[in-house]
Amino acid sequence: MSNQPPPEDRPTGPVSGVHPEIDELSAYAAGDLAEDDATRVAGHVAGCAECTGDVAALRAAVADLHALPAVTMPADVADRLADAVRRERAAADAIPAPGAVSSSGGAGRLRRRATPWPGIAAGLAAVALGGAVVAGALSGGADDSADTTAGSAKSEQTAAAATSAAAEDGGPAPAAGSPAPAATAAASPSDTTTTAIRATGTDYHRDTARFTGEVRAALATPPAVDIAEPLSAASPFSAEERTALGELRSGGDAVAAELRPFTQDAKRVAQCVAVLTGGDPVDLVSIDLARFVGRPAAVFVFAGAEPSTYAVYVVRPDCGASETAPDPQLHYEVVTAG
């Protein structure tokens, strides 16, 4: 910024001889200057016809911007957008492991209060389709509270930090094809500070009822090891954790070879969580190194949006790292606690 004061050795006449920089004048015109800078610039402008004209010019430019008519999406563009989203949704429904994943999120710090937000997919479809279904996420706080809660996105924070700041007051809404919980309540009461890692050897099924039972049964199984959070790429498993995980690994064929990296490398686990959550803070309750429809898979259980619910992701052993199967996700389900 150009808020530095003018050099002291400049002669100051009746009108200060030093014109402020144009972007400083713009800041002045917008009321963006700190008080002493504003006073100095005001003092100059008051006696300087040139700068007075410049301030007027800058205000005219801003007025021109404000005078631009609001644009609305043309109907044909909206129709094509709706088609594209519809196709995407059809594809997502047809393939159990939909979509692409940004693996660039890095490892997020894991914290309490997971509220995975499956309802938003339906909400976005509604946005694009202009349909009657408005997900709670969109109608509740999403738009109208935007201007009042914007302060949560603080300046110098990273995007991840900024996005984790405010709890969402709009909840996911049930929608076709989405296993969203009906409403968002307060944060999950889960107060664990650890993530249970277990290897139940369960072969999970796609059928919702069976899957639910399998998840509940697995969660009732004593964990092989509780990993202390926060879990991050920067903090490796502790010696005790490594020992416990080593025993897990040597416990026969419960853990498929492909899944062993999850027991060896905290970074690997943290990265997979980041891929699933986009780096947002989550409450990771449990990881079960198991199978899904016969194939090795890791079952990540997060605290759900509602109390006593879990958001369960079944992921491939490589968590989407391979070129051929860039999506880590084999299955997703919201499960109520038994």
Partner 1 sequence: MLVRRHRDRAWAVALRTLGDPSEAEDAVQDAFLSAFRKADRFRGDAQFTTWLHRIVVNACLDRMRRRRVRPVAAYDDSALDTVPDPRDALGERETALEVGEALQRLTDDQRLAIVLVDLQGMSVEEAAGVLDVPVGTVKSRCHRGRARLAVHLGHLRPERSSGQSPGTGTRASPGASKE
85 CB burial (10 A radius; 0-12, 13-18, 19+):
middle
Residue 284 lies near partner 1 (rule: CB under 8 A): no
127/256 with CB nearer partner 1: 127
Single out the segment in contact with partner 1 by CB under 8 A; choices: 78-86, 189-197, 230-238, 248-256: 78-86
242 CB burial (10 A radius; 0-12, 13-18, 19+):
middle
Which of 37, 280, 288, 306 forms a contact with partner 1 (CB under 8 A)?
A: 280
Single out the segment in contact with partner 1 by CB under 8 A; choices: 157-165, 217-225, 244-252, 316-324: 157-165
* CA–CA gap between residue 310 and residue 252 (Å, rounded): 29
Residue 139 lies near partner 1 (rule: CB under 8 A): yes
* CA–CA gap between residue 88 and residue 221 (Å, rounded): 38
Helix (H) or strand (E) holding 266: helix 266-277
Positions in 58-77 near partner 1 (CB under 8 A): 58, 60-62, 64-68, 70-74, 77
Closest approach of partner 1 to the CB of residue 255, in Å = 24
Single out the segment in contact with partner 1 by CB under 8 A; choices: 115-123, 225-233, 241-249, 287-295: 115-123
* CA–CA gap between residue 111 and residue 231 (Å, rounded): 9
| Residue 259 φ then ψ, to 5° | -90, -5
Positions in 188-247 near partner 1 (CB under 8 A): none
Closest approach of partner 1 to the CB of residue 288, in Å = 18
Q: Which residues contact 240 (CB under 8 A, 6 or more apart)?
A: none
CB 285 within 8 A of CB 190: yes
* CA–CA gap between residue 165 and residue 152 (Å, rounded): 6
Residue 97 lies near partner 1 (rule: CB under 8 A): no
Residue 100 lies near partner 1 (rule: CB under 8 A): yes
138/255 with CB nearer partner 1: 138
Single out the segment in contact with partner 1 by CB under 8 A; choices: 47-55, 249-257, 264-272, 289-297: 47-55
89 CB burial (10 A radius; 0-12, 13-18, 19+):
buried
14/294 with CB nearer partner 1: 14
Residue 99 lies near partner 1 (rule: CB under 8 A): yes
Tokens, residue 114: 């997971």
Which of 9, 35, 104, 154 forms a contact with partner 1 (CB under 8 A)?
A: 154
Which of 12, 39, 158, 243 forms a contact with partner 1 (CB under 8 A)?
A: 158
